Chain A
Amino acid sequence: MSIWENFIDDIADPAGKLAKTELKGLIRDYRKDASGFLRRQGRKMQRYITQLARGEITPAEFRQYMEDIRDLTEMEKVRMSVAGKARAQRLVEGITELVINGLVKAI
């Protein structure tokens, strides 16, 4: 098993509040996702946990990165929404220009 997976498994959690298997599965799924954005976040999460395990970053810094990923995801959601709206707007403009102002006037 890799460093980041061992680190998650070794976290002391007597109350059993941490869903370790689900957490590892989530990171693995992100890394294989079709979305380039989610794959990047999955790779970063894996790297952060590895850095935390090696003592290269502090838990407070790790928490900061998770807030960054949350913010980046919010921005990506906006980008995806604009992408959809821009495509739809181009379709509407195309129909108006080519069909209504072009074809309809010609027939």
Chain B
Amino acid sequence: MSTAIRVHFSWLAATLLAACQLLAVSHYDPTTYRNLTETKPVVAQFYESLVGDGVDETELKRIRLKLAQIYEYENGKGADNADIVQQIEVIRRMFERHMSERANGPWTRAHMENERENMLEAFDIAIATEALKNRRN
């Protein structure tokens, strides 16, 4: 191969490498996928209980802990994982806003269904985002 062609491809390789760094996105992580898909139905079940008089404080603490663990796991992966970290922050913010509002009293069925739908949609978006990184998708 001529020197000119080699130089051309070296330049192309360098450009691609720079592009790769600019477009950095963390690799698909099955632990992230499992954490999100396992926590989603737990949260759904908990929301269904919120039409009743009391709040299961043990379950509430367990969900808060699980969300905090997911956040720490994702945040620990570094800057390339900022996208998922941002999404987990939004999920936690939504959850805490809902719980603050629930502190005012039991939810009606219509309200619970609306809130559950939105919370589950938030999980679905985060799950879909992680799935995008899977080469098989």
Contact = CB atoms under 8 A, between A and B. Distances in A.
Interface of A: 40, 44, 48, 51, 56-57, 60-61, 64-65, 67-69, 71-72, 74-76, 78-79, 81-83, 85-86, 88-90, 92-93, 95-96, 99-100, 104, 107
Contacts of B20: 89, 92-93
Contacts, number: 97
Contacts of B126: 75
Q: Chain A at the B interface: mostly helix, strand, loop or mixed?
A: helix
Contact of A71 (B1, B12, B25, B93): B93
A91 to B, nearest CB: 9
A65 B118 contact: yes
A88 to B, nearest CB: 5
Interface residues of B, number: 38
Given A48-B114, A71-B122, A85 B25 contact: yes
